[in-house]
Amino acid sequence: MPIEIEFFEEDKKLVVGDPASVTSLRKAFYGENEGAAVFLRPEEALYMLDVRNGRCLDENGREVTFNKIASHFGDAPRLMTRYYAFKDWRDRGLVIRPVDEATHYNRNPTHKYPSPGFDVPKYNAVARFYPDDNYAIIDDDIVGERMYTEHWFGQFGTYKADKHGRYNKLDIYEALFLLRHGSITIENANERQLIEAAKMNNSFFEPIYNVYEDWRMRGFVVKTGFKFGTHFRIYFPGAAPSRTTDDWIHSKHVLHVFPRTMELLTSELSRAIRVAHSVKKTFILAIPGEEIMKDVKPDYLLYHRKKDGIETPEDGMPKYLMLSLNEDEKISGAYLASAIDAAKNVGLSLMLAMVDRETSITYYRVRRIELKDSKYEYYEIDWKQP
């Protein structure tokens, strides 16, 4: 029998009283129990109308449509984005509950990365900086080749053909890093001038550089991620440049920087993750900066599957907090960082549910990285089919 909901406009309550319906709703963990009735949240009521053939009537027996219900909850921000994320999780046969029910769990695994540190060598090389192009080029082929071979600074010779050509080209991140740590001199620019040149094209250069420096100082090799759609690709400590295909594929991780003060469309963040996924790299997100946002609350508490069925509030624990995001919505790094913190505070990982214009959902799971002595927090973000 289709579920009948009664809507009490004054209290904005959505109530199901029919005993059979109450039993069925309780069994599937919908709503709040109030005596013999179940009070539904707006998303839950919308779901009944949308896919359960449910009906909603007001106190006078007049039909209340989907849009009518929603119009009474205009104070619930982003209701439709949240609704379609809710719907998708329910459509998968999984339980989804209000985030306020979260207590504390210990289901927030972190991924530990090595962090041996790095002593910046003194190369005493002299480079010339090209401010239009953001390269610093070293005439001296002896030291230029050594920097490249020993620690993979710059590109000696030609990309994938380092014997072809005789100069080392440092990129702007490498040039600033080596200059700042006293490893090289630059004949025509100082630190400030390097930074100013880089900021002409990218006002977020400094936070991106800070992330570069952080990983380099932990011992990682950090090169451009251009081919993978990200700011950087990284190699684990000990990596060396090589032209062989075997070594080449040892870069399994890409690193992208989303400064706290930056705003971007959800679709832009997703695009970067997609390229990384299509080339089978682990996507690492850095959210550097100081800005704190305190009031970001993820949308739902997600129960997931277990070996022999599904997890429920009765039988199991939630696995994620869900933050729903609309394709056309702009978010800041600080906003995302705060949502991740909220999940961490209840001992869960954050699940991003990106709702596109066709209300199709793409899920990205956010897992914290442990990188000893690091200045920032980093996250692996992977595409997930729940």
| Radius of gyration of the CA atoms of the chain, in A | 26
Residue 42 touches a copy of itself, criterion: CB under 8 A: no
Cβ proximity of 281 and 233 under 8 Å: yes
Q: How far is the CB of 240 from a copy of itself (least distance, A)?
A: 15
Catalytic pick among 235, 300, 363, 378: 235
Q: What is the residue whose two structure tokens read 């599957």?
A: 305
Can 376 be counted among the known catalytic residues? Answer: no
Residue 94 touches a copy of itself, criterion: CB under 8 A: no
| Residue with Cβ nearer a copy of itself (39 or 205) | 205
Which residues, 142 to 201, sit near a copy of itself by CB under 8 A?
A: 155, 158-160, 164-167, 169, 171-173, 187-188, 198, 200-201
Which residues, 238 to 277, sit near a copy of itself by CB under 8 A?
A: 265, 267-268, 270-272, 274-275
Long-range CB contacts (within 8 A, 24+) of 150-153: 150/121, 150/240, 151/121, 151/221, 152/221, 152/223, 152/235, 152/239, 152/240, 152/241, 153/178
| Residue with Cβ nearer a copy of itself (33 or 201) | 201
Contacts with a copy of itself by CB under 8 A: the residue count is 70
Residue 77 main-chain phi, psi, to 5 deg? -65, 145
| Residue with Cβ nearer a copy of itself (227 or 297) | 227
DSSP labels, 45-114? HHHHHHHS--EEEETTS-B--HHHHHHTTTTSTTHHHHHHHHHHHHHTT--EEEGGG-----B---EEE-
Residues 6+ apart with CB under 8 A from 276: 228, 229, 230, 254, 256, 282, 283
| Residue with Cβ nearer a copy of itself (33 or 360) | 360
Chain positions contacting a copy of itself, by CB under 8 A: 49-51, 65-68, 70-71, 77-81, 84, 87, 91, 128, 130, 132-135, 137, 139, 155, 158-160, 164-167, 169, 171-173, 187-188, 198, 200-202, 223-224, 226-227, 229, 265, 267-268, 270-272, 274-275, 278-279, 326-330, 354, 356-360, 362
Q: Which residues belong to the active site?
A: 235, 250, 281
